[in-house]
Each structure stands twice: as structure tokens, then as C-alpha cells.
């Protein structure tokens, strides 16, 4: 009798242990799914203005000062939209801001920097992707002549700004954009992500951006799979589609593509179509480029884009630069919000899409009040 009772107890204990063992990962998976949904909900709301630093008298501190912007390329709509935001902000304050037109060639950036020094600009902003380390000598020479140099929309918020190279920088929360992309993949697959992440390692913020996606998936999506493919920017047109096709052929269960820069999406779409996977594969990216939002709006496959207002970025960049010029406490991070665009709200970005629609205009009144205008 004693033996039979002991066996019964052992069987019951074993069953209880198995139940607990099975419940733990299920609870973890549900918690991750809940966290993903909460993060997505946060970035579907209309953005509010958050002051990046203390208020100051912008007109007074910028009197007699001027600013020059050297964008990565004048042919890139992303840079042009930020330029326009910066020009509008400078007009509000009342100081001259000039933009150096270029086609993304380093010699043109160097020439623009030299001209800015000759024209006695007080600050030069290497805007939207120019790595100041590429122009180290020229930047040092400009600073030696009293010209301050900054970089807008380059570094991730987790990356330190080179203290001996720049006077200031306006960093971007690429890491949060990566987490939003990962959260969307978790939510849309019900916690069963099998993803291909794509990026370009030579681009400054790529490493923390990719790590943020990987870390979020690992933490919130137990059992999910992901792989990373590095494709240098000059090879996007020749290698992205073939790499996506090869990945789908090697693993037919892939259900998500996460290219970190949204223009990469244009080369992935044909690969998914050729594989006949438009109904089972989804894709999320970052930037909110108008041409890509227009493309996404007409796709059969499910997609999402983490967008940011380029006009807001322009105002925020000017705020960072003015604080540098006026010897105020530095603000290193842009306060531009990240907004989710998908099939539920693509139209809010305009038809055709506009770089500033869908975000509201809280930043205009917010910055004017912050600057004492």
C-alpha cells in the first residue's frame, strides 16, 4: 500500500512539474507579446512636443550669427526635407542659413566646408549621414579657424559623439525604431517570428540599430528566429533582391523581412513576389520616406514603416545647433517622434505621401515658445 501511494505521489509530482515547465515559456511568450503590443500602441498616438532643453532667447543669441548646412546629398528627398525644415526654423528665428548643394561626393563636401569657412559661417552642420571622420582633417581645420561643426541625424542615441572632432551633434533614436520594428513582427506573427534583418555595416548607426532588433526579439520572443545580412549601400541594387531570394529558398518558413532603411524595401518586394510569398511574408522598416510609403500603400503584402517628420527633425537640429553657438548646455538627442505607418493609416501621410504629413505640427508652436518667439 505504501509503495502504491508513493508511486501515485511521484506520478502526480511529475505531472505537476511538467505543467509548470510548459507554463513558464508560455507565460514568457505572452508577456513578450503584451509588451510588443504596448510599445506599438505608444507609437500610434499623435505626437506631443517635449522640450529638448531649457527655454532661451533665440533671436538675441543668434543675432549676427549664420549657419551652413552640408547635406549627405541634395538628390536625396530625405536630406532635402530636413533642409527645408531647417530653413523654416532659421526663418522663424531670423538668422541666415545656407545649404550647400551637392550630389553626395566627398570632394563636394570638402569644398562646401572650405567655402563655409571663407564665408565666415559660425557653424557648419554635416547633415543626414556624412560621417565627420571622413572629413577629419577639414573639420579640424575649420574648427581651428573658429567655425563650430556639428552632425545632424547620424549617430544613434547609444553612440558617443567624438568629443575631439565635433562641437555638437543631434543623435537619433535608431535603437527605438529597431525595437518598434521587432515588436511589430512579434505582434503580427503572434510571437512566431522567423526574420531576415538587413542593414549596411558601413553606415554609422547600423550596428546599434541591428543590435536593438536582435535584443528585443531575444528578450520578448522566445523560440523566434532571426538572421542578419549585411549589404553595403553601393550594392543595394545588385545584391538585396538576390540575397532575399536566397534566404527564402534556404528557409521557406521565413515570415518577416526587417530592412533597417526603408529604401531597401524596393529590392525585397520583387524577391517575395517571385517566391509567391506575398500572403505569408511581411516587412517592416524605418524612415517614412514618401516614395516608399506610396509604394507600401499599393502592395498586397503586409508592411509597416516607422516614420519621423523631417520638418520636425529640421527644427530640432537647428535647436541643437543654436545651443552650441550660444554656449548653452548641449542637447545631443533630437526630440523628433517615431510614428507607425501601416495599412490602417498610410493615407494620413498624404496621397501622394508628404514628408511632414501624419505627424501633426505640435513642434512648430513648441519650438517657437521654447525660443521665446
Mean per-residue pLDDT, 123-141? 94
pLDDT of residue 122: 97
Find how far residue 248's CA is from the centre of its chain: 26
Of 167, 177, 169, nearest in space to 152 by CA: 169
d(CA 290, CA 263): 10
List of domains in the chain: 33-45+175-307 (3.40.50.2300), 58-173+310-336+360-370 (3.40.50.2300)
pLDDT of residue 330: 92
Taking only the tens place, the pLDDT of each residue in 25-39 is 677 677 878 899 999
Host H or E run for residue 177: helix 174-189
Model confidence at 20, in pLDDT bands (50, 70, 90)? very low
Taking only the tens place, the pLDDT of each residue in 144-201 is 999 999 999 999 999 998 878 999 999 999 999 999 999 999 999 999 999 999 999 9
d(CA 139, CA 157): 22
d(CA 169, CA 332): 5
User: Contact 330/148 with Cβ under 8 angstroms?
Assistant: no
Taking only the tens place, the pLDDT of each residue in 273-328 is 999 999 999 999 999 999 999 999 999 999 999 999 999 999 999 999 999 999 99
Residue 67, pLDDT > 90, answer yes
Of 136-150, 160-174, 214-228, give the lowest mean pLDDT range.
160-174
Amino acid at each position: 500500500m505504501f509503495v502504491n501511494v508513493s508511486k501515485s505521489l511521484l506520478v502526480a509530482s511529475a505531472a505537476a512539474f511538467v505543467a509548470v515547465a510548459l507554463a513558464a515559456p508560455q507565460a514568457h511568450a505572452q508577456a513578450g507579446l503584451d509588451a510588443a503590443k504596448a510599445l506599438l500602441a505608444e507609437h500610434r498616438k499623435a505626437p506631443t512636443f517635449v522640450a529638448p532643453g531649457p527655454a532661451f532667447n533665440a533671436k538675441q543669441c543668434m543675432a549676427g550669427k549664420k549657419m551652413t548646412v552640408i547635406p549627405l546629398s541634395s538628390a536625396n528627398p530625405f536630406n532635402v526635407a530636413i533642409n527645408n525644415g531647417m530653413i523654416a526654423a532659421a526663418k522663424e528665428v531670423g538668422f541666415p542659413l545656407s545649404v550647400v548643394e551637392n550630389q553626395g561626393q566627398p570632394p563636394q563636401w570638402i569644398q562646401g566646408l572650405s567655402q563655409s569657412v571663407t564665408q565666415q559661417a559660425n557653424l557648419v552642420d554635416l547633415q543626414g549621414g556624412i560621417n565627420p571622420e571622413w572629413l577629419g582633417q577639414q573639420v579640424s581645420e575649420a574648427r581651428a579657424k573658429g567655425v563650430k561643426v556639428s552632425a545632424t541625424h547620424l549617430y544613434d542615441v547609444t553612440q558617443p559623439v567624438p568629443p575631439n572632432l565635433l562641437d555638437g551633434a543631434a543623435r537619433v533614436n535608431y535603437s527605438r525604431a529597431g525595437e518598434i520594428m521587432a515588436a511589430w513582427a512579434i505582434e503580427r506573427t503572434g510571437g512566431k517570428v522567423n526574420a531576415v534583418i538587413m542593414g549596411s555595416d558601413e553606415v554609422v548607426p547600423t550596428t546599434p540599430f541591428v543590435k536593438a532588433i536582435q535584443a528585443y526579439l531575444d528578450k520578448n520572443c522566445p523560440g523566434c528566429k532571426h538572421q542578419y545580412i549585411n549589404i553595403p549601400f553601393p550594392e543595394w541594387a545588385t545584391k538585396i533582391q538576390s540575397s532575399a531570394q536566397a534566404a527564402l529558398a534556404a528557409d521557406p518558413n521565413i515570415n518577416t523581412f526587417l530592412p533597417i532603411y526603408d529604401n531597401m524595401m524596393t529590392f525585397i518586394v520583387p524577391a517575395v513576389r517571385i517566391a509567391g510569398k506575398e500572403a505569408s511574408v511581411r516587412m517592416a522598416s524605418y524612415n517614412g520616406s514618401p516614395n516608399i510609403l506610396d509604394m507600401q500603400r499599393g502592395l498586397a503584402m503586409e508592411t509597416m514603416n516607422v516614420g519621423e517628420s523631417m520638418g520636425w527633425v529640421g527644427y530640432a537640429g537647428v535647436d541643437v545647433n543654436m545651443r552650441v553657438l550660444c554656449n548653452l548646455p548641449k542637447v545631443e538627442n533630437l526630440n523628433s517622434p517615431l510614428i507607425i505607418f501601416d495599412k490602417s493609416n498610410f493615407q494620413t501621410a498624404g496621397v501622394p505621401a508628404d514628408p511632414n504629413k501624419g505627424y501633426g505640427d505640435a513642434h512648430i508652436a513648441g519650438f517657437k515658445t521654447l525660443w521665446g518667439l
